[in-house]
Amino acid sequence: MNQTYTGGFTLPGEAGKEALTLRLAERWGADVIRDSDGTKLSDEILGSGHGIYSTLCLVREDLEWAKAHPQLMQQNFLMSAPVVADADAVTIDLLAGFSRDQFVVQDWDGVEEFWQVHDRTTGEVLPITRWALGSEGTVVVRDAVPGHTYTVNFLVMRTWEEISMYNHVTNDWGDREHLMAVEPRHPEVAEHLLAWLEQWCTENPATTVVRFTSLFYNFAWFWGSDGNLPHLYADWASYDFTVNPIALRAFREQTGRTITAEDFVNAGRYTSTHNPPSDVYRAWMEFTWEFVLDLGRKCVDVVHRHGKKAYVFYDDSWVGLEPFSGRFAEYGFDGLIKAVFNGFEARLNAAVDVPIHELRLHPYLFPVDLEGKPTFAPGGDPSTDLLRYWVTVRQALVRARIDRIGLGGYLSLVEPFEDFQDAVARIADEHRRIRALHLSSARSGDETRPVRVGVVTAWGALRTWSTSGHFHENRSLSLMHVLESLAGQDFDVSFHRLDDIASEGVPAVDVLLNAGLAGSSWSGGDAWSDPRLVTAITRFVHDGGGLVGIEEPSAVAPGAGLRRFALADVLGVDQDTGDRRVLDRRRFDISSEAHPIMDRAANAAGIGPVPGLMVLRDDVHVLAASDGAPVATATPFGKGRAVYLAAYRHDAHTARLLENALRWAAGAETPQWLSTNPAVSVAAFADADGDGTVVVLNDTLEPQHTLILSNGRAVATLDLPPAGLIELEVAELVAEPAPPGTC
């Protein structure tokens, strides 16, 4: 394999390791050198002629200034631990159970205006006459009813920034100072951040790209004080940390609506992304976008004025930034960088409207990984780690263009790992080859247009290619697994909001996909109570569209209405939540007759049962069952088709089943290109004449054998080495006679 291009690679440099830095930059074809948390770049590196990225997280950069302005830190609402009254006065210790290092009660602005005391037994909010602030961070409730449970929704200020807190606690940093996150809604804070950035740009002329990590608001993360409950709540996309009196008042003024503490607290659920958002919370999010965009754009302007580019890193403090709000391009960012473990994260990045899409790969150059296992340390095998991440992410790279890749951490750690240095050179080169194919190819016309898959959730496009956080944090979410399967497949995937379908109809797609647990934002929850939504999708399928429902698709509240799944009459299956226990279940056979969905590469072993699943009609083809209940079905409905899959878990065989299901539902069973071995990916990069290149990927670290089919006809048999990548010319392949047999 010859290295045919350079560039598109970001290397973490390290002062004191100049020779290593420049040698590896050469070897890996790096065009950019970056700093990382804990590393600096020396003048020799800064002057080496490479592009230079510098990481900044504005809200926590200037600790001295923060300490001089102790009341300007960020705030949020908390709900006190519930207390059962045993007399007619109840004293509630507001911070009981919460980390007092992270939170202090904010009792100087807006107590009467924003706090709420609930009788949680009746659901009532108590009038202000029924409670008062007590001593030492308490609230005293008067005229309580013994036996009722009371809580207080109250404001806190945060005195320790969460990422700093995590690093500090994890690494046992003792008396190292706590970083603090300032609240940019205070005009003096916003002014200070811009002035600080201006000065920083002046003082760092070598920097070509300011890499914002990210902007102003961290995802929500509540720490506890109880050894048995050290963390209370974490959600990567929650806006809990955007709250403060200035914002609450501005929201009321700008929108004419009132948002209450309970709209954020939600009886202790907070604003978890896994729950469908309320209307007022969505309005709050949009209101926050406006503010983050306004100030963020000013920051980008400062950077641009200094002749630098502005990239943004989509992880810590990304809340409010929203790459898929429809307004992201207004920031003027020059690039978006995303840390990736999985394929869906690469697709997320590639889907953002921004000039440059960059991935920060794993492993991070640290002695140990996030779970504490050795990486660049005795017992570690970083080159295998790298290749395992690479084959996972690479499946997505052949489907959507990523412009740059890179690493982060301490470069010095890789010095003893020659095989790792080789492996990085290899993947940097593979990335450049794939990128070149994207840049030179074009879809040749309608006949090869991929099947259009519309993923429908309560969030829609805002959560394009994501749920909330990483795959390893969401192993129990069917949609997370589905996204990871789709990331490596040749579909045109779009994301749609259920409420929009209710009001505007089904978008221009071939198949709709709805996947998740009942009541979740992914399945959709109350959105399915809207008959317009159900009618629109029912008609869409009846008229020839496809539907794939996964786990508890279109589920409404149990015990009401005709169906648990609002689309049960389309899917041909429904769920008994116990209220139909005495109704008999229709018997079914698992048909041994061949079905296009169940080819030899597909199987349903990765699909777990869903309780109470039942077949509604005799035209439901049960493809697989578990414990007597169907886990995979295929059903005609009018001119269309519907597929149900139970609890979906990603692996190569399940992914193939999903791929077949989507194609069958779309009435497009035969793909243009197919590997009979599901551990091998095939991606075509056609040029304008329909010729071009086919890339075949071994998605595993074991050797693989496969047959390649073109429009159902065998055109090649291949043996691929571990993690192998083979390029084939389309013109040669389709001319070649089919080999005998199948593998």
Structure tokens at 379: 């017992």
**Nearest to a copy of itself of 151, 288 (CB atom):** 151
Closest separation in Å from C-beta 493 to a copy of itself: 24
Binding to a copy of itself in span 452-481, by CB under 8 A: 468, 476
Q: Is 316 a catalytic residue?
A: yes
Closest separation in Å from C-beta 243 to a copy of itself: 17
Of 654, 647, 653, 642, residue with least CA distance to 627: 647
How many residues belong to the site for a copy of itself (CB under 8 A)?
A: 69
Q: Does 231 bind a copy of itself (CB under 8 A)?
A: yes
Torsion on CA atoms 591, 596, 599, 605, rounded to nearest 10: -60
**Nearest to a copy of itself of 240, 334 (CB atom):** 240
From candidates 414, 518, 652, 662, binder to a copy of itself by CB under 8 A: 518
Q: Does 450 bind a copy of itself (CB under 8 A)?
A: no
Note whether 78 and 154 are within 8 A (CB): yes
| Segment (H or E) for 629 | strand 629-637
**What's at 286, amino acid-wise?**
E
From candidates 269, 298, 449, 475, binder to a copy of itself by CB under 8 A: 269
Q: Does 580 bind a copy of itself (CB under 8 A)?
A: yes
From candidates 68, 112, 129, 147, binder to a copy of itself by CB under 8 A: 147
Stretch that binds a copy of itself, among 44-52, 82-90, 391-399, 625-633 (CB under 8 A): 82-90
Note whether 44 and 439 are within 8 A (CB): no
**Nearest to a copy of itself of 418, 579 (CB atom):** 579
Closest separation in Å from C-beta 45 to a copy of itself: 41
Q: Does 123 bind a copy of itself (CB under 8 A)?
A: yes
Closest separation in Å from C-beta 620 to a copy of itself: 10
Stretch that binds a copy of itself, among 273-281, 326-334, 384-392, 596-604 (CB under 8 A): 273-281
CA distance 254 to 652: 50
CA distance 98 to 161: 15
Name the active-site residue from 119, 235, 315, 316: 316
Question: What residues pair up with 46 in beta bridges, in sequence order?
Answer: none
**What's at 634, amino acid-wise?**
A
**Nearest to a copy of itself of 363, 524 (CB atom):** 524
Closest separation in Å from C-beta 291 to a copy of itself: 25
Of 641, 661, 668, 671, residue with least CA distance to 550: 661
From candidates 196, 341, 389, 588, binder to a copy of itself by CB under 8 A: 588
Stretch that binds a copy of itself, among 50-58, 78-86, 170-178, 693-701 (CB under 8 A): 78-86
CA distance 137 to 139: 7
**What's at 386, amino acid-wise?**
L
Ramachandran region, residue 447 (left: φ > 0; alpha: ψ -120 to 50; beta: rest): alpha
**Nearest to a copy of itself of 297, 586 (CB atom):** 586
Of 243, 219, 261, residue with least CA distance to 94: 261
Q: Does 535 bind a copy of itself (CB under 8 A)?
A: yes
Structure tokens at 52: 């230079």
Closest separation in Å from C-beta 506 to a copy of itself: 11
* C-alpha distances out from residue 621 to 516, 631, 637, 641, Å: 22, 11, 12, 11
**Nearest to a copy of itself of 349, 474 (CB atom):** 474
Closest separation in Å from C-beta 468 to a copy of itself: 7
Q: Does 332 bind a copy of itself (CB under 8 A)?
A: no
Q: Is the dihedral of CA 663, 669, 672, 678 positive or negative?
A: positive
Q: Does 275 bind a copy of itself (CB under 8 A)?
A: yes
Reduced to 3 states, what is the DSSP secondary structure of residue 715?
A: strand
Reduced to 3 states, what is the DSSP secondary structure of residue 202?
A: helix
Note whether 667 and 641 are within 8 A (CB): yes
Q: What is the CA radius of gyration of the chain?
A: 28
Structure tokens at 737: 């006679």
Q: Does 534 bind a copy of itself (CB under 8 A)?
A: yes
| DSSP β-ladder status, 511-516 and 492-497 | unpaired
Structure tokens at 444: 């040749």
**Nearest to a copy of itself of 447, 589 (CB atom):** 589
Closest separation in Å from C-beta 144 to a copy of itself: 11
Structure tokens at 523: 């399945």
**Nearest to a copy of itself of 20, 145 (CB atom):** 145
User: Residue written as tokens 């963390």?
Assistant: 231
Binding to a copy of itself in span 599-658, by CB under 8 A: 618, 638
- CB count within 10 Å of CB 535 equals 12
From candidates 15, 104, 145, 738, binder to a copy of itself by CB under 8 A: 145
Q: Where are the beta strands (DSSP E) in 304-448?
A: 309-313, 335-339, 356-360, 404-406
Q: Does 519 bind a copy of itself (CB under 8 A)?
A: yes
Reduced to 3 states, what is the DSSP secondary structure of residue 240?
A: helix
Closest separation in Å from C-beta 632 to a copy of itself: 18
Structure tokens at 157: 């200020």
From candidates 49, 531, 596, 703, binder to a copy of itself by CB under 8 A: 531
Reduced to 3 states, what is the DSSP secondary structure of residue 425?
A: helix
Q: Does 672 bind a copy of itself (CB under 8 A)?
A: no
From candidates 47, 578, 721, 722, binder to a copy of itself by CB under 8 A: 578
CA atoms within 13 A on the CB side of 63: 9
Q: Does 254 bind a copy of itself (CB under 8 A)?
A: no
**Nearest to a copy of itself of 220, 424 (CB atom):** 220
Of 653, 651, 598, residue with least CA distance to 621: 598
Q: Does 542 bind a copy of itself (CB under 8 A)?
A: yes
Q: Does 130 bind a copy of itself (CB under 8 A)?
A: no
CA distance 627 to 609: 8
**Nearest to a copy of itself of 137, 572 (CB atom):** 572
Note whether 512 and 540 are within 8 A (CB): yes
Residues in the chain: 743
From candidates 224, 450, 544, 609, binder to a copy of itself by CB under 8 A: 224
Q: Does 538 bind a copy of itself (CB under 8 A)?
A: yes
Question: What residues pair up with 149 in beta bridges, in sequence order?
Answer: 84
Q: Does 148 bind a copy of itself (CB under 8 A)?
A: yes
**Nearest to a copy of itself of 196, 588 (CB atom):** 588
**Nearest to a copy of itself of 175, 587 (CB atom):** 587
Of 467, 531, 476, residue with least CA distance to 501: 531
Reduced to 3 states, what is the DSSP secondary structure of residue 364?
A: coil
User: Residue written as tokens 């959560």?
Assistant: 463
From candidates 5, 196, 233, 389, binder to a copy of itself by CB under 8 A: 233
Stretch that binds a copy of itself, among 34-42, 336-344, 394-402, 580-588 (CB under 8 A): 580-588
Stretch that binds a copy of itself, among 127-135, 266-274, 664-672, 727-735 (CB under 8 A): 266-274
Binding to a copy of itself in span 83-102, by CB under 8 A: 84, 86
CA distance 165 to 173: 10
CA distance 55 to 37: 8
**Nearest to a copy of itself of 110, 224 (CB atom):** 224
Binding to a copy of itself in span 545-564, by CB under 8 A: 557-563
Interface residue list for a copy of itself (CB under 8 A): 82, 84, 86, 118, 120-123, 145-149, 151, 224, 226, 228-235, 238, 267-270, 272-275, 468, 476, 517-520, 525, 531, 534-536, 538-539, 542, 557-563, 569-570, 577-584, 586-588, 618, 638
Q: Which residues are identified as catalytic?
A: 316
